[in-house]
Structure formats: C-alpha cells, structure tokens
A and B are shown apart, each in its own frame.
Chain A
C-alpha cells in the first residue's frame, strides 16, 4: 500500500518537474531544430551562460533586478515592521483610519490603480528612474497587516517591564519588537523579493530606457531580438529562476509560513 502510494507520488512529482527539466534541456540545445529532445549538453549550456554575460543587456537586467528586488524587500521590511508594530502596540492619533485604509487596500490589486499610479509617478517626474520603479511598491498592505498580526502576539509583560525600566518606546521597538518579529520579517522579505523579481507590468510601464529594465522586461524583449536563439533565451530564463529557487530552499520554512497565512487556523 505504502509502496504503491510512494510510486504514484514519485511519478506525479516527476511529471510536474518535466517542464523544469525541459528548461535545462532547451538551454543546452545548440539550435532550434529539435526542442522535444531530452539530451543535455553541459558545455553548450556553459557556452550560452558566458555568451549572455559577455554581450547584450543581460548583465544590466540582472543588476537592475537585484537593485529592485533587494531594495523593495529591505524597504518593505523596515517600513512595514515600523507601521505594523505601531498599529499593534502603540496608541497614536489616526491609527484607526490608517488601519482601515490598509485593510481596504488589501482588496485592491495594482492592475486596478495602474492608470492613476502611473499619472502620479509621471507628476513626480519619476518616469525612467529607479525611484519610479521602487517607491510605488516599497510597502504593501499585506506586509503591514502581517507584521501587525505578529506584533499583537508579542509578550505583553516583556514590553511592560521595559517601559518600567524607563526604556523609550522607540528603543523598545528596536531592541525587543524587531528581534521577536524576525520570522515575520524574513517571510515578508522573501515574499516581496520573489514578487518584485517577477514584476513585469510596472517596470514595463514606467521604464522605457533599456538601461533600467529589470530581467522580466529584458527577457520579454530578448524573445523578439533576432540574433537570440531559443537556447540562449531559455538559458536566460534558467538563470532568472536561480535566485528565487536558492532563496526558497534556504528559507523554505518561512516561505511555507508566508503562503499558508490565513489559510490555516492556528
């Protein structure tokens, strides 16, 4: 019974991973004549990788993607933890209104506010700039909400005793709140990094300058460049998939925690 189950599951997982293997196989294909083949040529793959890094915009796209994903990930952690902690632990004027706005924003998606968001960025003079790509996504309602939920569960006695000892509220946040919130912040960083690494729509709209393109925009353009073979494009996709996969395996626990938030009753 167990052997049957394991065999079936192994088969299913193998089928699921077939497209991933296809990515490797096509990346090592020397020409576009036979893409259904299952041969895998490491030296050809290596040649494609070095070709990508030697010429064209690929290294630039990679750098821009790192700037965007790391920048937004870090900003999100800093500002969402500050706001989420304040909403959970501190009484301040306007907190109810802010929380209502954030909960309302949870149900909005970027596609809904795309047009006015673009107009605002244009008004700020941020078209074709890093800040134009970063600032509109530097925080998220989900992020603030997530940190708030975790911050509500911080041990009350600990915060209180720090207050009794005369620590300032800011110090309590930095010294006690942030370390205790670390799992939530790691989850948040990971989810934001993955989302921004994959953000195509917004950079496509605000960045016309190829020097600013991150990988998603760059890759979508590579497809149409005539001197790029399918093997080369596929190798570019393969390299793009590496950082998220590495991060996900290193932070697997936090990844699952982030995905299952709200779905599982604790």
Chain B
C-alpha cells in the first residue's frame, strides 16, 4: 500500500463537510424560510385567492369567481383611481428624471465644490416622506410659500390642495422635488462610473458637449437610467403617503391614487375580496410596465 498525501481541499469537501454545511446553512436560513413563508408567500397566495371571493372580516370568504374583476370594469371609482395614478406617475417620473439628468451631468464633474453640493442635494432624498408631506402642505396653504412665489410674478394666489384641477399637480410637484435629489445621486454615481477614455477620445475628435451627451453619455448610462426609471415608476404607482397626508384623496377623488382606493376599500369599507382584486391588478400593472421598460431600454444591448 503506497503512501498517499491527502490534499486539504479533499478533506473539507467530504461527507462530514457536507453535513456540517447542511446543518449550519439550514440553521442560518431557517428564520428567513419561516418569515418569507408566513409573511410573503402565504399572503401572496391568499391575496390571489381572496381576489376571487367576497369577504368582509365576518365569517369565511365566499367564492364568487370573477365577480370582483367584473365589478372593477364597471366601477367608476376604480377607473378614476387608475387615471389619477397614471397621471401622477407620468407627471412625476418624467420631470424628475429629465431634471435629474440635467443636474447630474454638471454635478458629477470632479471638484470639492461639486462634492459639497452633492451632499446638499441628498437632503431632500433623506427627508422622511411624512415630514416632507407636512412641509409641503404648509407650502401649498393659502398664505404659503407657493402662493408667495407665484405672487412675485403677479399671479393670483391659488387654492392648491382644494382645487380639483390643481391638487394632483401639487402632489406631482412635491413628489418631483422629493425624487429629484434621489435620482441626482444615483445618476451622478452612474456618470462617475463611466470610462473617462471614451470622453477624452470624443474631445480629441472635436465633438461638442451636446453631441457627446446624446452620442456617448446617454447610451453608456442606459443601465443606470433603466434602474432609475423602474424604481421611479414602481414607486409612484404604489405611492400612498403624499395623497393620504396632503389631500386624503380629495377634492372629489381628484387625487385618489390606487393604493389609497385599495386601502379605503379594504380597511374603510371592509371589502377585502374586492381590495385584493385591486391589489392583483396593481401588481400585474407594475410587473408589466417594468418588463416593458426592460425590453425597450435593454433592447440591442448584449447581456
């Protein structure tokens, strides 16, 4: 029998090691397994089930098939909320990304002063949304900052939060402000990660700043832009706090975004089945939109 040296790697990949890994891995992952089962997987399956039932907390859910979805089609409250959510999403996502990019491009340039400004830009992003909403409710008050500012250019004061045509735009302005800081930070980080050599080559070729922006910066930044776009759209679609705190969905439903309608349906009117059906539609809409954005923005890119 010849003497054989056992390499250490073989020692630690044997049966004993397998068992040790299985035991420790199972132990470390067990709380997560229980947590995700109880608080996410079961609720998700239950939400799908409840969306086909009529349930008001009392008794047991009663199977009603597609009734909730059929009712949704003819429910003006639902369609109003869907329209409001769409307007709120488009209205806040487009300006916050366009302005965010316009600020991020010059702000991402090196320099101590820019670093200082970047720190300041983060302040709105780190402000709690609840505190932000309260500040803006004061800004939009009759004698608040918004009216003082438009007064400077001679515009009559407006009832921002109580006018059916204006209230949603007040929410859009606040949301744009809140997201702008966030998006500037993310876009700045993306811009700083771009390879400098490409820009140097473009400068040598005599390309102007606008040409560089459209031909080089934007295509290279596509991945970061996609990320910002997805979190912006999904974030706006499930936004609850600004509408709840600033307008309570009013006046006359003008700011009743879908999450607010869902909350009122489920916990105000105790129609849990119908609320779950609304949740399903919201989920499918968010997933579908994310998918479309991935397809469009990643199209033509390898990997």
With A141-B36, A220-B245, A263-B227 as contacts: A23 and B24 at CB distance below 8 Å: no
Number of residue pairs A-B, CB distance < 8 angstroms: 293
Do A101 and B41 have beta carbons less than 8 Å apart? yes
Distance in angstroms between the alpha carbons of A135 and B34 in the assembled complex: 12
With A86-B28, A173-B28 as contacts: A112 and B21 at CB distance below 8 Å: no
Do B24 and A13 have beta carbons less than 8 Å apart? no
Interface size in chain A (residues, C-beta < 8 A):
96
B82 interface residue (CB < 8 Å to A): no
Contacts of B42 in A (CB 8 A): 116, 120
Do A160 and B126 have beta carbons less than 8 Å apart? no
A95 interface residue (CB < 8 Å to B): yes
Contacts of B122 in A (CB 8 A): 248, 252, 255
B35 interface residue (CB < 8 Å to A): yes
Contacts of B109 in A (CB 8 A): 5
Which of A86, A120, A264 counts the most B-chain CB atoms under 10 A from its CB?
Answer: A264
Q: Closest CB-CB distance, A160 to chain B, in whole Å? A: 7
Do A111 and B240 have beta carbons less than 8 Å apart? yes
Do A113 and B130 have beta carbons less than 8 Å apart? no
Flag the segment in A39-47, A48-56, A77-85, A180-188 that touches B. A77-85
**Which A residue sits closest to B272, measured CB to CB?**
A115
Q: Which of A239-266 contact B (CB under 8 A)?
A: 240-241, 244-245, 248-249, 252, 255-256, 259-260, 262-266
**Which A residue sits closest to B151, measured CB to CB?**
A36
Distance in angstroms between the alpha carbons of A220 and B240 in the assembled complex: 13
Contacts of A20 in B (CB 8 A): 123-124, 127, 135
Do B12 and A241 have beta carbons less than 8 Å apart? no
Do B136 and A19 have beta carbons less than 8 Å apart? yes
A153 interface residue (CB < 8 Å to B): no
Q: Closest CB-CB distance, B118 to chain A, in whole Å? A: 9
Contacts of A18 in B (CB 8 A): 145
Q: Is the interface of B mostly helix, strand, loop or mixed?
A: helix
- Complex A-B, nearest 3 residue pairs according to Cβ-Cβ distance, in ascending order: A36-B148, A92-B25, A90-B25
Do B29 and A240 have beta carbons less than 8 Å apart? no
Distance in angstroms between the alpha carbons of A234 and B135 in the assembled complex: 7
Distance in angstroms between the alpha carbons of A91 and B255 in the assembled complex: 50
Distance in angstroms between the alpha carbons of A120 and B148 in the assembled complex: 49
**Which A residue sits closest to B46, measured CB to CB?**
A116
**Which A residue sits closest to B114, measured CB to CB?**
A9
Do B130 and A198 have beta carbons less than 8 Å apart? yes
**Which B residue sits closest to A21, measured CB to CB?**
B145
Do B241 and A200 have beta carbons less than 8 Å apart? yes
Do B263 and A169 have beta carbons less than 8 Å apart? no
18 more contacts with CB within 8 A, not counting A98-B33, A105-B40, A111-B282, are A35-B144, A35-B145, A92-B22, A98-B36, A101-B36, A115-B272, A120-B43, A163-B12, A173-B24, A198-B129, A215-B128, A216-B130, A234-B134, A241-B128, A249-B119, A259-B182, A259-B189, A263-B228
Do B223 and A9 have beta carbons less than 8 Å apart? no
Do A19 and B177 have beta carbons less than 8 Å apart? yes
Do A19 and B25 have beta carbons less than 8 Å apart? no
Interface 1/0s, chain B 3-39, versus A by CB < 8 A? 0000011011000011011111111110111011111
Do A262 and B130 have beta carbons less than 8 Å apart? no
Distance in angstroms between the alpha carbons of A42 and B73 in the assembled complex: 55
Do B119 and A112 have beta carbons less than 8 Å apart? no
Do B31 and A83 have beta carbons less than 8 Å apart? yes
Do B138 and A112 have beta carbons less than 8 Å apart? no
Distance in angstroms between the alpha carbons of A14 and B141 in the assembled complex: 22
Q: Closest CB-CB distance, A72 to chain B, in whole Å? A: 12
- Contacts A/B (CB < 8 Å), 25 sampled: A13-B117, A16-B121, A19-B139, A20-B127, A32-B143, A79-B35, A82-B31, A108-B40, A108-B283, A111-B240, A111-B259, A112-B282, A113-B43, A116-B43, A120-B43, A160-B8, A160-B12, A168-B20, A198-B241, A200-B244, A233-B138, A255-B122, A263-B224, A264-B223, A265-B223
